[in-house]
Amino acid sequence: MLSDALIIDDDCNVQLLGKMLLRQHGYQVVTASSFGELVRQPDLLNVELILLDIGLGEFTSLDILEYLYDLRLNASIILISSCTEETAAHAIAEGEAKGLKMLGFLSKSKLLTGLTTFLGPLKKAPKAPTSDELAKAIREQQLFLAFQPQISLQHGNVIGVEALVRWQDPQRGVLYPDSFIPLAEQNGLMLPLTWYVIELAMKQQAQWQSRGWDLNISINIPAAFIQAEGVLEAFDQLTQEHQAVLSKITLELTETAGVECLGYACYVLKALRQRGCKLALDDFGTGHSSLTQLYRLPFSELKIDRSFVSLIDQDKEALVITASIIDLGTRLGLTVVAEGIETSAQFTLLVEAGCTVGQGYCIAHPLTAGAFNTWLREYSPSAPITHQTSMLSCSKAC
């Protein structure tokens, strides 16, 4: 995605050189040779970088800084001039006193070599995605799934995968859920996103089934999904279309706070369960989940939150809590899954505490479908941890 830059200078050589350099760094450049031209620029709000000549006709840099300040631009400003360091330092101090982002001073004679030094650190995080872009990404199928293996901690065999959504943005590269799920939640996009994810998961399942791989797929679904009207009819239609094996699908829920045991959402959950899907309570132990929901709603699985698992090899309390959750889940007849296992010490402690299923970087990162296929072909249940270390170098973690 192009960022906007503005060059304010009456020297056409500087304008030409500046334009060329900024374009090379991915900027879209507008220029103003006079204060009048600057004032006539229709839209400067998105400008992220300004090259400002200190002297511009009868206007000084201070006049222009005043004007830029009034525009409330959020741009970084580089002063360019043939003036002395002292004059430049004064202008920078004035700009800073107004709260403008003054990056520094660059002599015009050093523009060619010096500008890149300034621009390097500016090529920071790209602009955050917008809801329109996300809606378009869902329509244009830029979302894809990464698959994180889940294994039996006791025997090492692969039970299935958790499907984790990714966004392959043409400009920004791969985006992770924390950069777009909140955007989807705030802009009514969770339903189209979830339907798309379910469809991708069902398609993937069909491919694996055709290879004879009977893998379970866990899909994250939001509360909005089970509260939506017509969810069962649409789910049945997708199931039929992709010949999905529902006994090999687990739906993971985090937010169940608003789900009443006699309400519509609970009815939907029970109906999904009757169709053969398993239900997991995700991130158990965090603020979102509650003990009441655990036995009132038809869960078959409980996932211990990563925040506990990550501490069990360092912190006694975390280990006690984790062992208690495992015990509780087991007594309730639930499959207990530990997520975020990163070390062999955590792995061993979980096995000792009776946890049956696990996932985490120490087994495998989330992988693209192709990388997962390779991983699975090479996987050896007898050495679930040591095995993955060598595999990671050849797998495309995602």
Which residues of the shown chain bind Mg ion in the complex (CB under 5 A)?
Answer: 220, 252, 282-283, 339
Taking alpha carbons only, the member of 357, 377, 347 closest to residue 213 is 377
**Binder to ligand C2E among 95, 149, 340, 358 (CB under 6 A)?**
340
Selected from 164, 244, 280, 304, the binder of ligand C2E by CB under 6 A is 164
Out of 4, 282, 304, 349, which residue is the one contacting ligand C2E (CB under 6 A)?
282
Among 177, 192, 298, 354, binds ligand C2E (CB under 6 A): 177
Which amino acid does the sequence have at 361? Y
Q: For residue 336, how far is the Cα from the chain centroid?
A: 26
What are residue 56's phi and psi, to 5 degrees?
Answer: -135, 95
The token pair at 2 is 């192009």
State the pairing for strand pair 76-81/101-107: parallel
Residue 342 contact, options Mg ion, ligand C2E, none, Cβ 5-8 Å cut-off depending on partner type: ligand C2E
Structure tokens of 349?
């402690």
Q: What gap in Å lies between CA 118 and CA 105, rounded to an integer?
A: 10
Question: What amino acid is encoded at 132 in this protein?
Answer: D
Query: Residue 177 carries which DSSP code?
Result: G
Distance in Å, CB of 178 to Mg ion, minimum: 12
Q: How far is CA 115 from CA 19, 60, 289, 338, in A?
A: 11, 22, 52, 50
Q: Can residue 202 be called a binding residue for ligand C2E (CB under 6 A)?
A: no
Using left for φ > 0, alpha for ψ between -120 and 50, and beta otherwise, residue 181 falls in alpha
Span from 23-31, 65-73, 111-119, 334-342 in contact with ligand C2E (CB under 6 A): 334-342
Asked whether position 165 contacts ligand C2E by CB under 6 A, the answer is yes
* Number of chain residues interacting with ligand C2E (CB under 6 A): 25
Nearer to ligand C2E, 115 or 219 (CB): 219
Q: Which helix (H) or strand (E) holds 80?
A: strand 76-81
Q: Is 149 in the site for ligand C2E (CB under 6 A)?
A: no
* Cβ contact 53:9 at 8 Å: yes
Q: Which residue has the tokens 């500008």?
A: 115
Closer residue to ligand C2E, CB minimum distance, 87 or 344: 344
Tokens describing residue 112: 């060619």
Least Cβ distance, residue 306 to ligand C2E (angstroms): 6
Asked if 301 is part of the footprint of ligand C2E (rule: CB under 6 A), the reply reads no
Strands 59-60 and 55-56: antiparallel
Specify the residue, 9 or 305, whose C-beta has the smaller distance to Mg ion. Answer: 305
CB of 216 to ligand C2E, least distance (A): 15
Residue 361 interacting with ligand C2E (CB under 6 A): yes
Nearer to ligand C2E among residue 68 and residue 362 (C-beta):
362
Q: Are 151 and 380 in contact, with CB atoms under 8 Å apart?
A: no
Nearest CB to ligand C2E, comparing residues 38 and 337:
337
Q: Which stretch binds ligand C2E (CB under 6 A): 26-34, 46-54, 83-91, 214-222?
A: 214-222
Interface pick for ligand C2E out of 342, 348, 374, 396 (rule CB under 6 A): 342
What is the nearest approach in angstroms of ligand C2E to the Cβ of residue 213? 21
Residue 188 has phi, psi (to 5 degrees) of 65, 30
List residues near ligand C2E by CB under 6 A: 148, 164-165, 176-178, 181, 194, 197, 220-222, 252, 254, 282-283, 306, 339-342, 359-361, 366
